[in-house]
Structure 1
Amino acid sequence: GERVRDILSDESVQVIDRRTKELRGIQGRDIAILCQTHKTLEQYAQVLRAQGRKVRLEEAGWFESRPVQLAFYALSYVSNPGDRHAALYMATTELGSASLEQGIGQLIEHGSISDSVLDSLDAVREGDVTRNVYAMVADTLDALSFYDVVSLWPDATQARASLLRLQSEAEEFMTSNREARSSGGFYGDGLPSFLAWLSVKVTGKDKNRKPTPRVQDEDAIELVTWHASKGREWPIVIVGEMDRKVEPRLPNLGLGFDDFSDLGTLLDRASIEYSPSFAAPEATESFSTALQAEAELEARRLLYVALTRAREKLIIEWPTYALSGKGITPLDILTSACEIELCGRQLKVGEEMIEVEHFLGAQELPGDLELSELAGSSGLSSIGRRAITPSSEELQTTPDGVSPSTIEKGASEQTEAEVLSYAPALEIDGEYAGAEFGTLVHRFFEVGNTPEPIKQRLAEAARIEGLTSELVDNLLARVECFDTWLVDQFSPSSIHRELPIIALTDEGSVMNGLIDMVLETDDGCWIIDHKSDQIDDSMAAFGNYQTQLAAYKDALEKSGEKVLGTAIHWIRKGDIVLQEC
């Protein structure tokens, strides 16, 4: 960008006019930037536009452009008036008069939409039935006064060029071989076949480029791919993307021939050669290696085309890192094939030294270069009527399933709770991993006051996991003490341990989990959750689990149970924080 700016701002730079053969001042159209891919050219165009330069570039997105989409849906409606989507689309655009809400309302109530733009299209459909596709397209655009409409748009010249291409596509469809179209699945010569044919055609390589407006802009710098530059010339050419690695594109489909000695039987001996692409590089490498020589040969041809497009001055990007040897690049090919080496302000070609202009390019974009508006993410178009009012409201989604511990905390009704102690704090010597220790401790309380053989098997398992015999004995004693306290405190008719639950939350998610303990009494039930956390304040820590307890409570109440209260059992502290409902 800086080099182009310097060239255009230098009044001493002159070029020979191709028509008059006389010297004149440099203009933007005298400069062409050549790169291998459209993607890279779009990046160059973005920077040049941000610097205030005009550019000419055949960009992608012709079929998705506003004028073509409007025309396509108009033709879809003319082809099939029962196409409700096409009718709704046309009625709610700048060519129609309905809002999206009104359009959908009419469809629901009457099954169709009434709008002036659809009346105009109905008139086209009811016209001469002998018209061909080209005439139908022309009549549709005329009925909408579409060329007049787009003439008021900010990019009027581009919009007009896009519509002209649409008409030329209709002409190409008409003149194409009917049998060839049929082999592709497009039968007939009518409008429906044309629309289907066009939708498929634009998915091909370089088939969806926006046409260049038929306007010569003397200040516009041309951006062209190496391949598309063949047969063209400019006074000054800048060849870029010399650092792109030369490698075969996979998957690859080609024709193979044994020899060309007998052209009469050439097709009989031809074969289709397919090279697939794999996710594993080592699998792909076996195919790409066989095609590498052909890829390098094609790169040489394209490089020759790019380097011979300049009539007066050639500027080559020279990224020295592209000569690192980590892969073949066009710069590698140029330096090796021509025995070229850049030595300061001299270019060594073979044994000859040639004086050249050498400029060091910027390592990064200037900080004051505004690219945000040109990145294609600006959102709504500046033209047309909007059927939907834009909103910044965030999308709220509901997960399919949740667990009680992952439900987000919300505002809940707070009631008083009390701390009850049933045993002194449990002395634990040594360090135990939180998750593993917590799971093991839960197993003790899950078993509870069961027969002695089961307790002994649990104790043996705990010792294998690394718990000391003293701690195991203390835990067994703690379980017995806790169960005795429960009976004295609640007089339960039954005790459920590790009770599975499944319920639907108010938001529509399926919640499933396990409640550590549910006590059934004559008046209702109590929910108790065991916690092996190391805490200082039982009451303060209780607040962290109120949402989880509330989820358990809601699940049981939805199943018809009456919940009297919830509690957290702090195993290490020997405390129970009890909250009545």
Structure 2
Amino acid sequence: MDCLAALRWVADPTDSLALAELARLCCDDDGWLGAAFEQNNVEALEACVPFTQQLKDLRSLAPQLTPGEMFDGVLHVEGMLAIVARWGLAEQRLANIEAVRSLLDGYQEEQRSERQAATLAGACEWLAARDAPAQPQSRHPEAVNLLTYHGSKGLEWPIVVLTGLEHEAKGNPFGVYAEELDKPDWRDPLAGRVLRYWPWPYGAQAKDVGLDQAAALSPEGERTLEEEKLERTRLLYVGMTRARDHLALTTTGKTDWLNELATDDGQPLIRLPSDPLAINGQTFALRPPPPRLDAEAREPAPEFARPTAVRQLHPPLRLRPSAHAFSGTVRVAETVQLGPRITLVGDPDLQAVGEAFHRFFAFDDPVRPAPARLAVAGDMLRRWGAPQLAPGDLVEAADRLHAFLDQRYGGSARMREWPVYAAENLQVISGRIDLLIDDGGVFTVVDHKSFPGAMALDDERLNAFGGQVDLYTRALRQGAARDYYDYWIHQPIAGLMIKVELVAAEAV
């Protein structure tokens, strides 16, 4: 794609390969090839690109623009999209350009998440390192399919053109080969099979070292050559039998591979070129080729691409209460001291400590015997890797919570880890309330927060809590149709119960 070649050349003016690729795509003839071999090949290649100066001007803006904006600048260079469109299938090519633009957005987002700089050179390297995207196979009945001989097995086409018939067998005995020391035994198919490995000692130098000729004349080299010729014969059979109506054999003057189809006395079954054509002793008269017509210069047929739709950014399907932001104000209405602060030893993982508290509060029953509750608390702490707490700390925090709830809410229903799920417009609210209290008229939402800081002084955490319980309220209101809600934050480590009020933005 000339757009990517232009982007690479803008990123690195010394990238002569990108410049040569851009010149090739911009030229209608082979003039770019001659320019590539001139003494001042860079200047000659630049002369083949009609918008070189515009790309140079764009390069000066690279420090101020993102890779995506630089790619947009390349696309807006005068003449760039016209060259792309004249290759045909303009709509598909424009869609491919949009796909590249989306990849650059992904690169920028990836660098942002890793706190790295998104540079133009880095974007070009990132694109080159990705697996080359492949177009889906065409379903058109007249589509041309390019396959290897192995990949064509089991398929059939009206016309088949075979290429590579001039390639000769190498018969290289070096490398790893499987050999059979004995005749195959169907009762033990792998018996007598060994792996032979001959390393090549001369690295990249493959000819004129003496060993290459000696190895080819060795018994192993001759056997390897014979096995390779048998495999090549099978591949020729595969290729020739793929044609339903017509088979075309193409050569560059040599027919080494085709000549391997030979009679018992070593004579090729097919002789090319010959007139008449001889195949296994039978001759066929050749028809003269049709007259060659000179190419006529003509204007390309106009193409009309459908207008692209404006990209729409849809909100995520699921609204997570823990990640929701409250647009109004969260106020502390009341603070109740439950007891002294629980001391944490060492440098605890507050995430693990919080999980241990949450799980214990969800499971604990204050009427159970004390030894049983302490045993459960110990298991929770071991499971979550929180040795900074003692089992008695969890039990004490739960006792203080239950005492507060008994005093404030008496025998009201208490629902722990209560799931909420509600559809709101095109999104879904989904989550679990740590503790939901229902006295028949008011829903009270209690959320456990295990961090040891003072909640009233932390506006960020207050706002996060406001967004969380705001979503819970919207979900509960759909199911219960109640208008009265209370919100409490339980801090077991700090020994606090904090009542908060949510004030909508329009009421502030």
TM-score of the superposition, structure 1-length normalised?
A: 0.37
User: RCO higher in 1 or 2 (8 Å CA, sep ≥ 6)?
Assistant: 1
TM-score of the superposition, structure 2-length normalised?
A: 0.42
